[in-house]
Structures are given as structure tokens and as C-alpha cells.
Amino acid sequence: MVDNLSGIHKWFLYVLVVLVCLISESLFASDISRRPDDLPAPLEGGIPKTVKVKLVAREITGVIDPKSKRTFRYFTFNGKVPGPFIRVVEGDTLDVTLINPESNTETHTADFHAVIGYKGGGTKLMAPPGQSRRSSFLMTRPGLFVYHCVGNGTVHDVCHHINNGMYGMILVEPRDPDNEYRKLLNNPNLREFYVMQSEFHINNEIPGNMDEEKGLRENPDFVVFNGRVKSLVDHPLRSTIGDDVIIYFGNAGPNKISSFHIVGGIFETVWREGVLASPPVKSVQTTAVPAGCAAVTHLKSEKSSTEVGSYLLIDHSVFRVAKGAKGELWISDH
Ligand SMILES: [Cu+2]
């Protein structure tokens, strides 16, 4: 039938097919961003236990920039960026099942920075499409750690899978009841949030895919919090005066060091690099968070010294704000 169409009709049909593809892609593109309050509550110390975690690799098209409606082919853990916030206590055992559905095209796994050996679990959990893997790991060190996919383990795949959104954080709470961070968890006015920064390098010729050259030049299209532009503006961090706010801040990279800052705020306490086994630092304006690392940041808001309203979360390498590195913390008076 197509052979019988005139040139102009063929051209019209081609344009129509392209338009339908573009419209359906934006209609069915998901919001992959994880809400900043989507994390488990603090844990009791008690007797060491086994914590079961299910990670499902999901390759999905999502909107990376709502304003331009630009989409991206994300790789995710459990359909959101970042992946689930995992919470255990020092001495617990993490029992991980990684499922890679048959509908996927890539090999996926998880490298936990909280795990010593086995490439952080990356070798034991590596599953091609249609397969799953299960393994368990003893959590020997307290701290806030990044986990991420490494694909099939090649350098290309490590870059590709981190670039495409496949990362999250695991918090290993210290068991020592006298640890300063553990004592903070007992505060009745505690508000905890989960924020991860990362860069996206996007291929203009094959829309939605990674651009390796941009990655090598360390020149991303987007630098964002929780997976897309305006994620934490559409879903701000909400607190009330008098709260002790903890922001678990991770930086997936793949390349850049974040200069995490809250405009108009001073961090009361920071456990730099997510280290909870050592004493924290106090009264910090901006904290540097390397790629593949994290920080536990704590803010106090007191009636006598705090203005009610919106406080901006930014990477203080400020040109990155124009690339999306901006969120909001709301402090209300009731
Ligand atoms: Cu992956």
C-alpha cells in the first residue's frame, strides 16, 4: 500500500508517525523522581538482625526537564531516582535480592560502598535480563553510604548506569547508644530527608541516551537533585520551626564534587563524607561531597533566629543551578 502513495503522501505519513511517537513518548513518560521524605524511620539498636531488600532494575522513559518536556531513558532501582533508601544498624546483615526483568536490555547489579569485598556486592548480584541474584553482607561499619549499578562491570557500563540514574543510599546507624548522631535520632521533633545529586549527559542525536563524549569532557546537560529538574521544587522539603532537620545528602556524580549549600542557612552539624564513627563538625556554611560519597547534614531552626519561608538547596558551584541543581526547604511556623 505504501508503494502506491505519492511522494507527498509518503512524506505526510512519515511526519505523522514521528509526531505520534513523540506525543506518545511524552504522554507515557513517568515522573521518576523520588520524594525527599520517602525514607524509613529511625531504627532501634537491639539484637543484630537480617534486613531483606528487593531491588528491581527498571529501564524506563521519564521526563528529565518538565519545562521543555525533554525525556530520558533512565535506568532505575525500583522505578525511582534515587533508588530506595536502605536503613540498617551496624552489625546487621543485609540480604539483597536483585531482579532484572526479561523486558530489560541491560545487565544490572549493585555495588554497595557499605560492603567490604566482592566489589561491594557487584560481582555476586550481577544479573542479565530475565535473571535474579541474591546475596547477603555483614554491615561492619557505621555511616551513610552510596550504592550504584555497574552494569556488566566494564568502565563504559559503570559510567552509563550511574549517568542514567541507577544509584541510591544505605544508612548504617551506629549501634553505640552514646554516639552523637544516634542521640540526635531520639529528638521528638526530628525531620529526615533523602536528597541525591547527579549529572546527566544526554545524546542529542539518539534522544534519551547517554552521550559518552559529554561525560568524558565532564560537561553535563543537567545537574539535578532526585533525578530531574525541579524535583525538589515541585516536592519541597517541609519542616516546622523547632524541628531538627537531617538531610541525608548523596552525590552519585558520575564526575563532579558537590558544594552543598542552603541559602540563608548554616548547618548546625555535619558528619562529613557520611562518617558516623568520628565526631562531626559544627556551624558549616557549605559542605563538599565528592562523587560516590555522602554527608549527614543537620539544621536547627529556632524561633528567635529563623525566618519562616523557603530556603534554597543548591550546589554552590552556581552555574550548575542553571543546569537544575536547585531544591527548596520550607520552614513554617505551625
Ligand atoms: Cu544497571
Residue 168 shares a structural domain with residue 189? no
- Tell me the residue range of the domain where 254 lies: 183-332
Determine if the pTM surpasses 0.85.
Answer: yes
Ligand 1 center to 209 CA (angstroms): 14
**What are 144's three cell numbers?**
551513610
Residue 164 shares a structural domain with residue 215? no
Q: Per the domain annotation, does 38 fall within a domain? A: no
Ligand 1 center to 210 CA (angstroms): 13
Q: What is the pLDDT of residues 134-182, one digit of tens each?
A: 999 999 999 999 999 999 999 999 999 999 999 999 999 999 999 999 9
Residue 103 shares a structural domain with residue 187? no
Q: What is the pLDDT of residues 175-232, one digit of tens each?
A: 999 999 999 999 999 999 999 999 999 998 887 789 999 999 999 999 999 999 999 9
Domain tally, the chain: 3
Residues 73/164, Cβ–Cβ less than 8 Å: yes
Which amino acid makes up residue 300? K
Q: Per the domain annotation, does 35 fall within a domain? A: no
Ligand 1 center to 162 CA (angstroms): 8
Q: Alpha-carbon Rg of the chain, whole angstroms?
A: 21
Q: Per the domain annotation, does 9 fall within a domain? A: yes
Q: Per the domain annotation, does 45 fall within a domain? A: no
CATH number (domain holding residue 142): 2.60.40.420
Ligand 1 center to 153 CA (angstroms): 10
Ligand 1 center to 166 CA (angstroms): 6
Ligand 1 center to 290 CA (angstroms): 21
Query: Residue 117: is it exposed, middle or buried by C-beta count within 10 angstroms (0-12/13-18/19+)?
Result: exposed
Ligand 1 center to 197 CA (angstroms): 18
Q: Per the domain annotation, does 41 fall within a domain? A: no
Cβ count near 77 (within 10 Å) = 27
